[in-house]
Structure 1
Amino acid sequence: ITNGIKDERDLSRQVALVDEMVAAGVDAIVIAPADSKALVPALRKAIKKGVVVVNIDNRLDAEILEAEGVSVPFVGPDNRTGAKKVGDYLATKLNKGDKVAILEGIRTSFNAQQRLLGFQESMQDAGIEVVSSQTAEWEMAKANTVAASVLSEHPEIKAILAANDSMALGAIAAVKAAGKSGEVLVVGFDNISAVQDAIREGKVFATADQHGDQLAVFGIETALKLLVDESAETSDVETPVDLITADTL
């Protein structure tokens, strides 16, 4: 059974899907939670009913898991490292003292928090100033609005670091509308096909590929292992994340 939500803000629907799957009698749930905290109570109920749960992509909040008294194996990338790779590459085109802006994901999501840390670390290491860091909640339209405002308030910025590719697309539209194409660099995270095209066209400078198509495969393999032997050792599985540039496409 495969189910999804319309966007990454539709938390109530994802909680309902977990409940529906448990009611349907599934043996295992492999989930990429839209929120690192909100899904934990529903997943705890699933685990208490004997359902194997494996967390992929966006890590569940460790403190909430501990408070709920459950352990869930995680399969996914090191988002902080991936974002730092992108930021470090961007820094090669910037100068010490330059100013940049960050577009964050949903702030309660672990992957958004980690990507922000990676971006901040790379900019700090390079002596580059982050003059604006705002959430656009993973959404292209909101990113366009936020980026347009930032470009107006801080016309001196040299780059926009977007925590996912949808927001990067919103940012490049704002850059174009501001007449700054080629002046303000944009980077993203995810390596979606539209951003691959944008990289080839010189509109996006770099992104990161977390091989999302493989996350579910690794997650299902972990779930099957637990179904065969519920006492099997299931340490977290770190999946690769690669820097994507015009040279690597």
Structure 2
Amino acid sequence: MNVASTVVLRRNVWFVVALTLLFSGCSSRTDTAGSAEDSGKPRVALIMKSLANEFFSTMAKGAEAHQAEHAEEYELVVNGIKDERDVSRQVALVEEMVASGVDAIVIAPADSRVLVPTLRRAMEAGVTVINIDNRLDAEVLQEEGITIPFVGPDNRAGAKKVGEYLAANRKGDQVAILEGIQTSFNAQQRRLGFEEAMKEAGMQIVSSQSADWEMSRANTVASSILSEHPEVSAILAANDSMALGAIAAVKSAGRSGEVQIVGFDNISAIQQAIREGKVLATADQHGDQLAVFGIEAALKHLSQEESATSDAIEDVETPVDLITADTLAPPTP
């Protein structure tokens, strides 16, 4: 069966599922670009983590802008979960997208291990899968007997850049790390990058704890760390949402200006915090383009399928840049 026939078949499956969901009262947070009718164009599903996180809302906007510019080439379905830890909902989204007949899934997995079996089943159903942002676990991929290309930055290298900048501008030698969800590969890599930079600089990590990528959780964890370790002179947060929580904790502890903070993602709120001197640095992994890179890889693979070529999709390393007060772009008027 060629790709065109496969696409038509999936449209029919999608139509049946859509009717089922309509009459059963089911719903999901899904935005669709393009017509729901059979257009003959491939349908790509973007499945992200929490849209409450500015990084992922920026990612969604970038993907939607790309689709608008290439409306004749593909249709886009955008999905996100409400909570970074709601892995079961993300699993359900993958299953829903497969049932709806999408041709490709581009996913930023909430967990590097749990999603793999579900993605294997998606691939067995003929869906192209591209992994972005958070790399899937290599051991679990091997156990499942599949290969899924990763399109994204070197998180460890990006975190190390941020840590090295902190070390070069430090006010003290004792620091704490706010980790992401510990089963996520990008959280592990960012922690390792921070640790490597601190070790090379001879700085001591007195506490390293997960704050689950979330601002409120980071506020609580950072407050506890500052209470238990008043000698801490810096907090390295594995994403900018947690850096915002650290800012609030430092302020509540009466230590604004004393405790340096760094983050990762370069969201707009952190850009303003850098300008105000509340945050020293962050890393920009170009969230507005990250999903686009994944979508382009998926479309390339679908095109190869249609032309009967069989080249494997390779990993694509995307840029990650250090952002400081000196390198930050001026605010938009």
Segments of 4+ moved more than 4 angstroms:
none
1:160-175 correspondence runs (5 A): 160-175=235-250
1:107-166 Cα shifts (integer Å, max 9, x gaps): 000000000000000000000000000000001011001100100111011100000000
The two structures, once aligned, show a CA RMSD in angstroms of: 0.9
Is 1:142 paired with 2:217? Answer: yes
Give 1:213 shift: 1.1
Shift of 1:7: 2.3
Identify the match of residue 186 of structure 1 among 261, 274, 285: 261
| Residue 234, structure 1, aligned to residue 313, structure 2 | yes
Q: How many residues align?
A: 248
In 2: Cα distance, 1:49 partner to 1:92 partner: 51
Q: How does 1:73-152 map to 2 (within 5 A)?
A: 73-94=149-170, 98-152=173-227
Residue aligned with 2:255, SS: coil
Tell me the amino acid that sits aligned with residue 320 of structure 2. Answer: V
State whether structure 2 residue 84 is matched by structure 1 residue 8.
yes
Task: Write the distance in 2 (CA, Å) between the matches of 1:159 and 1:130.
Answer: 10
Q: Which runs of 5 or more structure 1 residues have no equivalent in the other structure?
A: none
> Contact (CA 8 Å) 1:225, 1:232: kept in 2 or not?
no
Which has the higher Rg, Structure 1 or Structure 2? 2
TM-score calculated relative to the size of structure 1: 0.98
**Separation in 1, partners of 2:292, 2:259:** 37
Q: 2:270 corresponds to which residue?
A: 195
CA–CA separation in structure 2 for the residues paired with 1:8 and 1:232:
34
Letter in 1 for 2:152: G
Task: Measure how far apart 1:56 and its partner are.
Answer: 0.5
Superposed counterparts of 1:15-94, under 5 Å: 15-94=91-170
In structure 1, what is the Cα distance between the partners aligned to 2:128 and 2:253?
50
Q: Give the aligned residue type for 2:326.
A: D
Matched residues, percent identical?
76
